[in-house]
Every structure is written in C-alpha cells, then in structure tokens.
Structure 1
Amino acid sequence: MTQTITALFDKPAEAQAAEAKLVAAGIPQSAIRLVQGAQTARTSGSYDYHKDEGGFWGSLKDFFMPEEDRYAYSEGLSRGGTLLTVQTEQAQMETAYDILEQNGSVDLDQREASWRKEGWSGYSATDDAAAGMIGSGTAAGTAGSAAYASVDRTAAGATTGETDYIPVVEERLNVGKRVAEAGRVRVRSYVVEKPVEEQVTLRDETVHVDRRPVDRAPTAADEALFENRTIEATELREQAVVDKDARVVEEVGIRKDAGQRTETVTDSVRRTEVEVEDERGNVSRTGATDTATGTTPRKPI
C-alpha cells in the first residue's frame, strides 16, 4: 500500500539533501515533490490563506491532507520553509522517516507551539466553515513532520483516534575504508664522475748516429760508395690511446607486496530508551530484557 509522507524543512538545502538520499535509497524521483516557500521569510503575524499571497494555500490543494495540516504547512511556507512530500510503499516508510529526520525535518507540533507564542492564531474549525471547505477531502495516508510524521493509520489498517509517538533513536556504527599514504619510495638515476688510473707499458725507438774508426783497403763494394748515397731511420714512439665503453652492472627497481591486516575499531553509539508506566504500576522499557526469551526486544512498547 502506498503512503504519502509530508515534511517541512527550514532550509531548501536540507530538503534537497533529503530528496537526494531518498532517491539513493531506491525511491523514484517521480514520487518526490518539493514546494519552495517564500524567498523572504515572514517572522510575525499569521498567513492569510484567503489572500493566499505566494499561492501556498493553493499549491497544497492536491495533497489530500487535513485542513489543519494544510493551514500549518502554508504558514511554514510563508515563513521561508520548504515542503517535501514522498509517496512510498509500506516497506520503505521507516527508511523514508529516518532520512527526513536525519536531514532536519521540522517537528510540526513544536513549531506550531512556537508560532502561537509569537502571535500565530493557528487553525480552528471556523476557518473551514468560513471558507466552505469542511469535508472537502480526506487524509489518505498523509504524513506530518519530524521523524515519525503523523500518518493516517486508518489507511494502513490501524484503529482510528489521535496517537502520539516517542521515537526510539539508535545510532549505528558504519566503518568504511580509505586509502592513505604511509610513505613513498623514489628511485632515480644520476651521473657522477670519479678519477681512475691504469698502468700501460709503451715502447719507444730512438735513432742514434754511430761513428767508428776503421783502416782497411776498400773493397769492390766500397768503390761504389763514391757515388751519392743517403740512409735514414725513423724514430717510433708508442702513445696511450684511451677509449671508454658502457656496461650495465646492476639493475635497481621497485615492486610492491600487498598484505592484509585486521584492525579493531572501537567507538560508542547512543540510543534513546523509552519507559512506559501506567497507573496500575506496570512498567516496560525499550531496553528491558525479556525474561522468557533472554533477549532484548527492539520495540516492546
């Protein structure tokens, strides 16, 4: 069964954030509607729905809500609030309530009490009679404000009558993971020079002119020496020749090993407890342990 939940927000950004989270929770965008209030918030007096300045009263005519709620929501819109309505299945109602509360939905009963202290006249049955609107519609599953908005329980199969609820709020610990740098290793190469020495043996040839005295008779070969003749010799000297070649002697690289570790996260969460005591002396608590089963009921009341 589809239910309609209505909530009032003081800031448009809060309503938009709630809308985004409702969509993320699986509720279709087409099932959500936002009504923007006055750009300049009114801080005194009461909204005159007869004049309907800003069209707030008329904009709520299709929401099928009780006239007292329509009157209050029109007042909230005239004060700069933003109205959000969402149609959701029964299975998603609690999720929708939680999202609306977490994003700052207004407790309409408390807000009405605050407005009355400021001079707001509030809703009365004579307003409907004057406008000819008594019996003009039914609250078919319309919800009010805050975490547990005032849903018309008749549509959901509950008994008729006015019921007040105290929400039991419980924090949940959500542990996620993020990647953080624990240190960085950088490998780079650069060029350095160092002096080196090598020993090399070199050979030198030197030419000397030798003279020696002789006294002998010339031979036939010596007779030819009277012709012009030249002899010569070249001195040779070895020189060191330097050449260099590059050799890869080592490789340096980087590799990563991945491991896993288990870390225990310790924190505390809060929870509200509700105690119910009637005049007969019966007491029940939301955190009480069921003596028959030894378990703690989630909602014993």
Structure 2
Amino acid sequence: MRTITAYFDSVQAAEQAAFNLATRVGGVRAKVYDARNTDRLGDLSLPEGDATTLREGFRRGGGVVHAEVPDGRFEEVADTLEASGSVDLDVKEAEWRKEGRAGSTASTTTNIAAAVPPVTGVTNETSAPATATFGSANATTNSTSGAATGSMVERLGAADDEARIPVAEERLRVGKREVGHGRVRIRSYVVETPVQEQVTLHQEHVAVERRPTDRPLTGADDALFRERTIEATETAEEAVVAKEARVKEELVVRKTADDRTETVSDTVRRTEVEVDDNRTAAKTSPATPRRDPGAV
C-alpha cells in the first residue's frame, strides 16, 4: 500500500477529486483536508516544511486529497488527481513567496512570511516569528522618506528600550516525487488470413464392357458353367485439412530501473547585519609623577 497527497486551489475541487477517485478507481481510500481540520496534518507524516506550506494553502482556500493507493494503482490514481485539477505545490509556494517579496501590501507580506519556517540555532532571537523580518504595517509607515519599501529606521526611546533584528536565512530543501512518463501497452489479437495449397488426388475407376467373340471351348473353359463373382472397388483420394499451431516468436515486456543524480540549482536568501559604530571614546592616560633627580 502506498500513499499520495495532492493539493487543489479550492476545497470544492479537492472534494470533487476525492469523489472521482471513489467512482473511477476501485480500492482507494481518500480523505480531504482543509482549514477546518488543519491540526490533523500530523496524521499524514509530512515534513514540517511541507505541512507549513499546506497550512498557507488552506488559509488561501485550498484543499488537499490524501489517498491510500493499492500496489499497482499508483499511476492510475495520479492521473485521476491530475485530471481533476491538482496543482504543483512547489510552484504555488514559489508564487506565494514572490508575492511576499513584492511587498504589495503589508497584509500579504505578513501572511506569506508565515509560510517560511524560522531559522534556529543562531541566537535566541532567531526563534521569533519569521513575519518580523518583513515588518508590520506600523513599521512601514514609520520608515524614512526616500527609503526602499520595507526598510525602516526605528529609534529607541528611554532607557531599557530595545529593538530586535532577526537574522533569517533560507535553506534549499530538495525532495522528490514520482511522475508518470507514459505507458507501454501491448495487446495480442487474432487475424485470419486466407491461404491456398495445391494437392494431387489419385482416383481408381471400374469399367465394365462386353467384347464379342466366337471360339470353341477348351479344357480351361470347363469352369465357365460354374457360378463366379468378380468384385472391383472404385477409390478416390480426398483432401484432408489439418492445422498445427506453433509459437514462432515471443514478445517480452519487463521494467528496468536505474538511478541518476540531478543537480538542482536555486538561490536562497539570508539577512546580514552590519553594525556601524561611530562613537568616539576619549581615552586619556593617567599622569605619571615626575621625579626630581635631586630628591633622595
């Protein structure tokens, strides 16, 4: 038994896909997940990054179909889900991230940033939500004039006031999924072809004729006055057809497998912090007492 997970742009599309699986593919158990049961994604045993992306998709009104597929039915189920309108989640995630980088609105920026897992292991401050790296609506309003969108200058107030700049970093996560590349279907069928063969047939005929004669009887003719019977049988050969089936060729169908290494290239972002400290610290050396050479 194998499992497959497909994402759809709407819950209605996901429910229709699950219905298509139930009616077109036998022996498949499918379930729909959406914003109403987001907390149950743990049942699917997905990586945290995938689960986070799916939650963002649920927030946008999408749905997921998770199905248990019997052995040998995976391609049929995948084709049915694709025909029902499943979308590539990696492409969707890239689109959402692009929307977040554009910074068209503060709301969009904050929501898309929630789909990016926070960076841990740098400092304690990196455990703050990733939305902080994009700033809030108020922070954008306080940005200095002429600054680029999303940059801001925040001034500290009284003592004990502090501000934090989380240092974030994107990490490239490469997974793999099974994709169908077409089928090979071989069908055998019967074709009848007219054939002709020539055969020589032998026949034997019986002929009866009367020959007039006039001669005296001899000693050998004494038996003529006894009963005598002569039999002759006509024969003829008939064509007899027999068929012999023989295997003249075999068509062998088998599957082979191999592994290949593919290099996936992409770009990842990270934030760096530059500290500009222009404070001038007045450094003075302590006065050294001068000793009078004449003193004892």
TM-score (norm 1): 0.40
Structure in which a larger fraction of residues adopt helix: 2
TM-score (norm 2): 0.41
Q: Greater RCO between the two (CA within 8 Å, min separation 6)?
A: 1
